[in-house]
Amino acid sequence: MSSSPNYRHSTGDMKKGEEGYAESDVVYSFEEEEVPERRQIGLFSAVFIIFNRIIGTGVFATPSTILGLSGSVGLSLFMWVIGAIIASAGMWVYIVWGTAVPKNGGEKNYLEYLFRKPRFLITSVFAANGVLLAWAAGNSLVFGEYILRAANVEPGRWTLRLVGFACITFALLLHGLALKWGLRLQNFLGIFKIFVLIFVIITGFVALGGHMKVPKPDNFSNAFEGTTANASSFCLSLYNVIWSYIGFSNANYALAEMKNPVRTVRIAGPLAIGVVTILYMLANIAYFAGATKEEIVGSGRLVAALLFRNVYGPRAERALSVFVALSALGNVLSVIFSQGRVNQELGREGILPFSKFWGSNRPFNAPLAGLGLHWIVCLIVIFALPPGDAYNFVINVISYPLSIINAAISFGIIYLAWRPYPDWPRVGIFAQIAAGFFGAANVFLFIVPLTKPPAGGEPYVSLPYWTHAVAGWAVFGLGFLYWVIWAQVLPRIGRYTLTRSEEVGTDGLKRHVFKRNKIL
């Protein structure tokens, strides 16, 4: 291979008024070697990308909360069906967007395509959402609960926090200092947690056969007894279910690296959602086959361990606790891996302050700084919130702004179907119906939490019911404030203009980069 350097250039979009591109936006990038072919992700890998991200700890940790809010076994199971329908509609929304805008980056690209004015506002708002939400904090706490349970240690206020801290710090150091080993462990745990879920399902069949250490519960004869019928509890139940399905959009973050991305995403998404739905339904049936309603509600996030104790005895419960803890660790590794790269890309595009630092791959050819930024945000959540409320808060505060974003891109499909941009493809009526349904479901999810829940339906022990809604809007508000300072005030003080240009990096991927142009 020739060692002579490459010089590549690309020009920004010349369309006046769109995304702030100007005729002077020309960028040159220096490369040492020819960039290899980037499209390496096939159909099987795409399915696994979605599958591995969806199955985290939600199906092990949220069923007790969903049952408590639903009030009955029947409605609880029905909530998982509704969640699957919403996730399927959402998958179709992301298929439409992935087909129309086949680039890496997911929602960021779709929002920027839709909302072109004021310039750079939607980019700032999305950046705040990406940086400030502690995606990995919840599963770090689940890891703490299960690993302490396995060690026969009561998860106290500080022990839980410290074990959660150790979990996320381990993930940071592994991915930041030893990337290859981090990926190997992440992939191993991704496969391992699927076997754990299958083992839970098999245990459910054992319980249905009556082979238990305790009397067999009778949860299916009058399944809808005790049903709670109020919008707030229904909404919070959906939050927990949808949290367990989050990840159906994961393939959209790597479309530029897929072989035949349009065909791949059309097949991989529905296939992954179908398999996950079957596994989730069987797992929940297993829980109800092996424990009473009161036991499940009282188990908190340890419902899977409860099932194993009732079927196999205390020793099996401890073993299962280790298995679920490892599943939680796998999810933390997966989440911090992707969120660290989100932060790195925001740095490389010049959106964050001290961009070169956050966009760096030093010192071990891994985004240690980007990973560290997400680690800091997660630690704030882990140590600042009451441990009993922290997990539910993380679920709700991530789901709330995501509902707003999903509503925007869903109704955006319908808007573009009637008033398309020149490069927007034709979207069929069934895709528009799916987008309308998904958009309406998400409007429900971000409006209802603003209403006061009935007595006994409060989402938190110590926090006000509206905490996550206010926090979600506050994140968007901080993004708006950052836009005012970064894109409006500082350019006027520094006498420069912000422009965006398309750059081909040494990784072979295209990205839009912000540049400061001095006003003479």
- Domain contains 256: yes
Q: For residue 442, what is the domain's CATH number?
A: 1.20.1740.10
Range of the domain at 310: 36-514
What share of residues in the chain are helix, strand, coil (percent, to 5)? 65, 5, 30
Supply the pLDDT for residue 169.
93
Q: pLDDT, tens digit, for every residue of 439-489?
A: 998 898 888 778 777 666 677 777 888 888 888 899 999 999 999 998 888
Q: Are the C-beta atoms of 322 and 153 separated by less than 8 Å? A: no
- Domain contains 430: yes
Supply the pLDDT for residue 5.
32
Residue with tokens 């970064």: 486
pTM of the entire predicted model: 0.77
- Domain contains 21: no
Supply the pLDDT for residue 387.
66
- Average of pLDDT values for 232-248? 80
User: Cβ contacts of residue 188 below 8 Å, gap of 6+?
Assistant: 330
- Domain contains 403: yes
Distance CA 429, CA 431 (A): 5
Supply the pLDDT for residue 386.
74
- Domain contains 12: no
Residue with tokens 């179908």: 274
Q: Tell me the pLDDT band of 229, cut-offs 50, 70 and 90.
A: low
- Domain contains 151: yes
Cα angle vertex 84, ends 374, 325, to 5°? 45
- Domain contains 346: yes
Residue with tokens 């080993």: 181
Residue 217: in which H helix or E strand, if any? Answer: none
Of 446, 352, 361, the closest CA to residue 403 belongs to 446
Cα angle vertex 11, ends 486, 497, to 5°? 25
- Work out how many domains the chain is built from and give that number: 1
Q: Are the C-beta atoms of 11 and 501 separated by less than 8 Å? A: yes
Provide the Cα torsion 361, 362, 367, 370; round to 10°.
-110
- Domain contains 3: no
| pLDDT over 90 percentage in the chain | 15
Tokens of 240: 């927990």
Cβ burial, residue 136 (10 Å; 0-12/13-18/19+): buried
Q: Are the C-beta atoms of 340 and 161 separated by less than 8 Å? A: no
66 phi, psi to nearest 5 deg: -65, -40
Distance CA 264, CA 271 (A): 11
Q: pLDDT, tens digit, for every residue of 151-195?
A: 888 777 788 889 989 999 998 888 888 877 877 787 788 788 788
Report which DSSP code applies to 35. P
Q: pLDDT, tens digit, for every residue of 87-120?
A: 899 999 999 998 888 876 778 889 988 988 888 8
Alpha carbons within 13 A on the beta-carbon side of 22 = 13
Distance CA 141, CA 136 (A): 9
